[in-house]
Amino acid sequence: MTSSPPRKWGTTVIACLAMLLLAIDLTVLHQAAPKLVEDMRPSATQFLWIVDVYGFALAGLLITMGNLGDRIGRKRLLLIGMAAFAAASALTAYAPNPELLIAARVLLGVAGATIMPSTLSMIRNVFTDPRERATAVGIWSSVSALGFALGPVIGGALLNNFWWGSVFLVNVPIAVLIIIVGLIVLPESRNPRPGRLDLVSVPLSIVGIIAAIYALKTGAHDGIAQIDVWAAAAIALVALTVFTGRQTRLAEPLIDVGLFRHRAFSGAVGANLICIFSTLAASLAFAQYFQLVLGWSPLVSGLAGLPGGVSAALGGGLAGPLVGAIGRSRVVSLGLGLCAAGFLLYSRIEMDTSYAFMVLAMVVAGVGMGFTFAVTNDTILASVPKERAGAASAIAETAQEMGGALGIAVLGSVLNGTYHNNLELPAGVPAEAANQIRESLGGALEVAATLPGKVGEAVAESARRTFVDSMQLSLMTGAILLALLAGAVLFALRGVPKVIPEVILDDEGHVQHEPAPVR
């Protein structure tokens, strides 16, 4: 059924608002962490689970929930998920102890996994015109990028006036608004020939993805020599290998692994993964740089990073017209090249660099990120029939979750390892304090404040200088990877048409008609 223009764009607005809520929620916890630790006093292990368990639940369930939406209806799943997200947000805000807070964060992740693939798949289904769809996906990508930048700003503003739970409680009225308007505006869509949901593939995908992300995150934090890192990596390898093999034999797989044989699909997914690989690691590095090196407050730090998000939103909006002018592969390559140039500028930031120079780097990298994600997300969606849009959306978003975890593990390890190995301590530092100083910049500044006079000042100065030097190396590594990828996507997306034709299924669920490419 064809949707009217007002309903199409109303669906886009609701999908963007839902994605904005999720994007903000992914970043506000880092701002709330100091107050949360002060009020709740979780153990170090509990705190890590509070931070990480949301991402584990979200990433592990994306593929399952994307397929579930294709079967029971994307509108239904999004509204159910939004109601669960509002309830879980309230539970998180008022959690009285670390154990209940971890449980509430698990529920938030489960709810987020029902919402995230539904937003993009609904856009795919209401826009049958390829050019309109590309524009709508570009807007969705822009809003998503803006949400990551707004999270620290909103979190900082709330934390200046309220308790840590306020950053989660603010989700509730927005979620209620989305539910009310969504009931009226959103059209329902589902796969008319859904087939049976394979109950063996579901746990295999959940276990495999969660184990992989756990291994990456724990290895980055504690080192790869830990036995639980190797155990999680082994579980991930076995589960994902069995899962992939099973998908090739099923008539209705959770993931159509044959899609990865197409350069357009696999190239777009790969570009997403590497782009988020670099940008998320950079975001975490700059959060420490602004607050611990420059001494800015959380709110000022959040505002300082806003130009990057605004620029990414602008790039996403401009991507559609640019594809019409120069083609998909060139726009993605240009986007990744701009990201690489931005990271090269980032790598020149010193302890006394002017903010104007930082804004220049943020704008260049942000526009590049907007170009990249707008085109790759549309390419992924357009490569599959609209009946399977939920599953395709889930693949794209799972790749981003994996890329983020991998980026923190690899580039975070480059930063932390360089800091640990190159930090020079002045005479007079007690041996028992040295390990904490070498563990992180935050730990170094905490210890420095307890040391006498010039010794404490020297420790703080050396730690800040070494952190900046380490950050430069990490960001230069990201720039090199992005530059290499910019060249690779020219091949991977070569020949993909500017306007990707509609893929249509026959009555048995097979591709019936795929018109000749329009270049």
The answer to whether residue 475 is domain-embedded is no
Whether 203 and 167 map to the same domain: the answer is: no
Q: Give CB contacts under 8 A, 24+ apart, made by 37-41.
A: 39/163, 39/164, 40/97, 40/98, 40/101
Tell me the Ramachandran region of residue 262: left when phi exceeds 0, alpha when psi lies from -120 to 50, beta otherwise: beta
Q: Which residue has the higher pLDDT, 285 or 311?
A: 311
Q: What is the DSSP letter of 4?
A: P
Task: Using only the alpha carbons of the chain, give its radius of gyration.
Answer: 23
Number of H helices and number of E strands within the chain?
A: 18, 2
The answer to whether residue 112 is domain-embedded is yes
Whether 65 and 193 map to the same domain: the answer is: yes
Q: Residues 259-271: pLDDT tens digits? A: 777 777 888 888 8
The answer to whether residue 246 is domain-embedded is yes
Q: For Cα atoms 350, 355, 361, give the angle at the middle one, nearest 5 degrees.
A: 80
Q: What is the mean pLDDT of residues 63-91?
A: 88
Question: Per residue in 386-406, is it b (16+ CB within 10 Å) or e — as a string?
Answer: bbbbbbbbbbbbbbbbbbbbb
Strand, helix or coil for residue 296 = coil
Flag whether pLDDT at 80 surpasses 80: yes
Pick the last residue of a domain from 182, 217, 251.
251
Whether 202 and 70 map to the same domain: the answer is: no
Among 53-62, 159-168, 312-321, 432-441, the least confident range = 432-441
Q: What is the mean pLDDT of residues 132-151?
A: 79
Pick the last residue of a domain from 180, 197, 214.
197
Whether 168 and 241 map to the same domain: the answer is: no
Flag whether pLDDT at 505 surpasses 50: no
Read off the tokens for 241. 């290998």
CA atoms within 13 A on the CB side of 372: 36
Whether 190 and 238 map to the same domain: the answer is: no
The answer to whether residue 414 is domain-embedded is no
Whether 17 and 33 map to the same domain: the answer is: yes
Q: Residues 150-196: pLDDT tens digits? A: 877 888 788 778 888 888 888 899 999 999 998 988 888 776 666 67
d(CA 514, CA 519): 14
Among 347-361, 383-397, 410-424, 498-512, the least confident range = 498-512
Whether 146 and 217 map to the same domain: the answer is: no
d(CA 94, CA 195): 41
Query: Residue 519: what pLDDT?
Result: 38
Flag whether pLDDT at 517 surpasses 70: no
Whether 32 and 176 map to the same domain: the answer is: yes
Among 134-138, 162-166, 236-240, 384-388, the least confident range = 384-388
Q: What is the DSSP letter of 291?
A: I
Whether 216 and 149 map to the same domain: the answer is: no
Q: Residues 367-402: pLDDT tens digits? A: 998 898 888 888 887 777 766 766 777 777 777 777
Q: Which residue has the higher pLDDT, 118 or 284?
A: 118
Q: What is the mean pLDDT of residues 483-494?
A: 85
| pLDDT tier for residue 515 given thresholds of 50, 70 and 90 | very low
| pLDDT tier for residue 44 given thresholds of 50, 70 and 90 | low
Residue 61: which CATH number? 1.20.1250.20
The answer to whether residue 33 is domain-embedded is yes
Query: Residue 341: what pLDDT?
Result: 95
The answer to whether residue 453 is domain-embedded is no
Flag whether pLDDT at 340 surpasses 90: yes
d(CA 85, CA 114): 9
Query: Residue 513: what pLDDT?
Result: 44
d(CA 512, CA 404): 37
Strand, helix or coil for residue 262 = coil
Pick the last residue of a domain from 210, 229, 251.
251
Query: Residue 235: what pLDDT?
Result: 94
d(CA 411, CA 417): 10
Whether 202 and 156 map to the same domain: the answer is: no
Q: What is the mean pLDDT of residues 97-111?
A: 91
Flag whether pLDDT at 216 surpasses 50: yes
The answer to whether residue 339 is domain-embedded is no
Please give the residue range of the domain that contains residue 220: 198-251
Query: Which amino acid is it at 240?
Result: L
Whether 193 and 205 map to the same domain: the answer is: no
| pLDDT tier for residue 141 given thresholds of 50, 70 and 90 | confident
What's the domain count of the chain?
Answer: 2
The answer to whether residue 193 is domain-embedded is yes
Whether 49 and 65 map to the same domain: the answer is: yes
Closest CA to 272 of 369, 134, 138: 369
